[in-house]
Amino acid sequence: MFSIEFKDKKSRARLGKMSLAHGVVETPVFMPVGTKAAVKTLSSEDLEGIGAQIILSNTYHLNHRPGLEVIEKHSGLHGFMRWKRPILTDSGGFQVFSLSKHAKISDEGVKFRYPQTGEESFFTPENVIDIQKKLGSDIVMVLDQPAPYPVERQEAIDSLERTTKWALISRKQSLEDGQKMFGIVQGATFKDLRKRSAEELIEMDFDGYAIGGLSVGEPRDVFFEVLDYSSEFLPVEKPRYLMGVGDPLGIVKAIAAGVDMFDSVLPTRIARNGSVFSSEGRLNMKNSKYKMDTGPLDSECKCHVCSDYSRAYLRHLYISGEILAHRLFSWHNLHYLTDLVNRAKFLLKRGKLIELEKELELIYG
């Protein structure tokens, strides 16, 4: 499933290939998030044009709306959203954290109450795998329980032990031919607990391993520290996935730490709030200083948004409430991150990844 094509001599970074049911993914790779079977404001054809190799969707949301019956009528999620490349589906574990006031957790699973409708559903380590089987995703994730930040050690132990118990149950579930299953490391910000979690999951021999429970409010320096040692605990020969990270510096530091995959709603979320990534840093396009600016969003970017439109026009769209602004900013941000990862690959192969890391620390640090 996974082969390492090149290793950096100055860091744990590597280039690899994942062979999945719907194609080969070259790593490192950023995965745009299509939570409800759509990356907000963009079509599947747009994502292909941007160069997305694999996208992420969410089991919790899709199970609720439109429901499995609708998706199965389209022969799975790929047919439903007309996406031909690989898909990873999250299990709903993050919703255990983000929607905690609507969830009741026990060793058997999680009872969710959908805030929009009041309907309830019960997610277990068995049925989240069954749902993802029916969705037809290339990579399925086990149900996990992330700990919040800050958290007492005993609570971190409890969430780790529950995650391990659920992972063992999930690992015994059958998959469709070609599907792969990833385990998720927890342990909050406790190094020994992260090591324990990784070791327990490695015993179950998953197809890949995710670093979960980060980007939950911890300080930046703590995030980077936990990322670095968590990656080190994972097997070299399996793909490593850092969940929920999509800022430029975070991605490049993750690559240097030996991570192969990352996802986040950040690039499309900030786009809808009028912000874009650029070689100058993050730009707030609501700012009046761009009102008369005839230059591109980013002079170093080759996406069609930067080639075709001025900052003044794009600001006008956003200030005027035009949905097109959300779409164009989202396109640019995803192109920027895709191009950034490609640039990291190029420099990695030449032993110069550290140069990109230093550059981004100056711009985004």
Q: Read off the pLDDT of each residue in 198-203 and give the average, rounded to a whole number.
A: 99
Q: What is the pLDDT of residues 128-145, one digit of tens each?
A: 999 999 999 999 999 999
Judged against a pLDDT cut of 80, whether residue 354 lies above it is answered with: yes
At residue 99, does pLDDT exceed 80? no
Sign of CA dihedral 72, 74, 76, 81: negative
- Contacts with 290 (C-beta within 8 Å, 6 or more apart), sequence order: 283, 311, 312, 314, 315
Q: Give the integer Cα–Cα distance in Å for 276 and 263.
A: 17
Residues with catalytic function? 90, 263
What CATH number labels 2-264? 3.20.20.105
Helix/strand/coil percent split, the chain, to 5:
45, 20, 40
Q: Output the pLDDT for position 256.
A: 99
Per-residue confidence (pLDDT) for residue 205, from 0 to 100? 99
pLDDT band for position 192 (cuts 50, 70, 90): very high
pLDDT at 103: 84
Residue 97 has pLDDT above 80, yes or no: no
Q: Is the pLDDT of residue 115 over 90?
A: no
Spacing of C-alpha 32 from chain mean position:
7
pLDDT recorded at residue 112: 86
Per-residue pLDDT at 98 exceeds 80? no
Residue 95: which pLDDT band, with cuts at 50, 70 and 90?
confident
Instruction: Summarize the confidence of residues 145-166 as an average pLDDT.
Output: 97
* pLDDT on residue 175: 98
pLDDT score of 116: 78
- Grade residue 48 by pLDDT with cuts at 50, 70 and 90: very high
* The predicted structure's pLDDT at residue 289: 98
Residue with tokens 């709903």: 92
pLDDT in tens, 235-245: 999 999 999 99
**298-327 pLDDT, tens per residue?**
999 999 999 999 999 999 999 999 999 999
Q: Which residues contact 314 (CB under 8 A, 6 or more apart)?
A: 285, 290, 297, 305, 325, 328, 329
pLDDT of residue 31: 99
Phi, then psi, of 142 in degrees rounded to 5: -75, 160
Which amino acid, residue 29? V
**What residue segments make up the domains of the chain, in order of their start?**
2-264, 266-365
Q: How high is the pLDDT of residue 114?
A: 80
pLDDT computed for residue 118 by the predictor: 84
Question: What confidence category does residue 101 fall into, taking pLDDT thresholds of 50, 70 and 90?
Answer: confident
Mean of the pLDDT values across residues 45-51? 98
Query: Residue 350's pLDDT is what?
Result: 97
Residue type, 335: H
Q: What is the DSSP letter of 33?
A: B
H/E stretch holding 358 reads helix 353-364
Percentage above 90 pLDDT, the chain: 94
Residue 285: count of CB within 10 angstroms of its CB = 22
- Quick one: average pLDDT of 205-219? 97
pLDDT tens, position by position, 235-283: 999 999 999 999 999 999 999 999 999 999 999 999 999 999 999 999 9
Over residues 113-125, mean pLDDT: 88
Is this prediction's pTM over 0.95?
Answer: yes
pLDDT digits (tens, 9 = 90+) for 319-349: 999 999 999 999 999 999 999 999 999 999 9
